[in-house]
Amino acid sequence: ILRGSEARPHLKPYMASLQLDGQHVCGGFLIAEQWVLSAAHCTEETDGKLFQVLLGAHSLTEPEPHKRLYQVRAQFPHNGSNVHNNKDDLLLLQLEEKAELNSDVQVLPFQRENRDVAVDTVCEVAGWGTIDHSGKRPDKLQQLQLPVISRDVCNHRTRHDGTITENMMCTDSRRKDTCKGDSGGPLVCDGVAEGVVTAGSRVCGNYKKPAIYTRIAPYAEWIDSVMASADG
């Protein structure tokens, strides 16, 4: 998160840190007791290894009352996801066991009605992604409020040039922006998860490259079917 601020500790109890060998790689969020939603492109550099999921955290390093690292039973990248574009960039992670819910660990509802969030709506994004152009990583969760911009503006020739589908949405990226390591986190508008951070053009803080999110509503049925199939 570039030019954000430290989040109020444990006020985003749905936030997850996807880790490999104790290192934060991507964000994610709890959508059910045993399920975390994130971005498929986060598995690009994992060489087939499963993530571990940190829940209940504000600091990545300090001991905290309800902080707990969960093993992952299975990972389900969306079939349409691929390394060449941002399409269907969703990843479902089934935890080895149901997460213990408490004041610091809570599920976040996601939008099921497939209708665009109104332009200029101010939404919130959070993550432990890089906080400056040198790639500095924060220890504590960062947050940012960003206004939704229209798909037409985001698709302008000088912006994302027609690559933003109806399953994606954008927020302004002048100065304040998402960045590496924020992928997979939720874009929360009026208390509901409307989008999942995707890397897009993999540049940060450039107003010519607005932040891109995978809209969740179009994938509600996919999410329900994966959870139903794996839960048995």
Ligand X SMILES: CC(C)CC(=O)Nc1cccc(-c2cccc(CN)c2)c1
Q: Which residues are catalytic?
A: 41, 89, 183
- The residue from 24, 41, 78, 215 that contacts ligand X (CB under 6 A) is 41
CB of 227 to ligand X, least distance (A): 24
Query: What are the distances in angstroms from CA 11 to CA 21, 26, 147, 157, 229?
Result: 26, 19, 21, 39, 32
36 beta partners? 30, 93
Q: How many residues bind ligand X (CB under 6 A)?
A: 19
| Residue 178-197 contact track with ligand X, rule CB under 6 A, x = bound | xxx-xx-------------x
Q: Does residue 199 touch ligand X according to CB under 6 A?
A: yes
Strand partners, 188: 124, 193
| Candidates 78-86, 164-172, 199-207, 223-231; binding stretch for ligand X (CB under 6 A) | 199-207
The verdict on 217 binding ligand X (CB under 6 A) reads no
Number of neighbouring beta carbons within 10 Å of residue 87 = 17
Residues that bind ligand X (CB under 6 A): 25-26, 41-42, 44-45, 173, 177-180, 182-183, 197, 199-200, 202, 204, 211
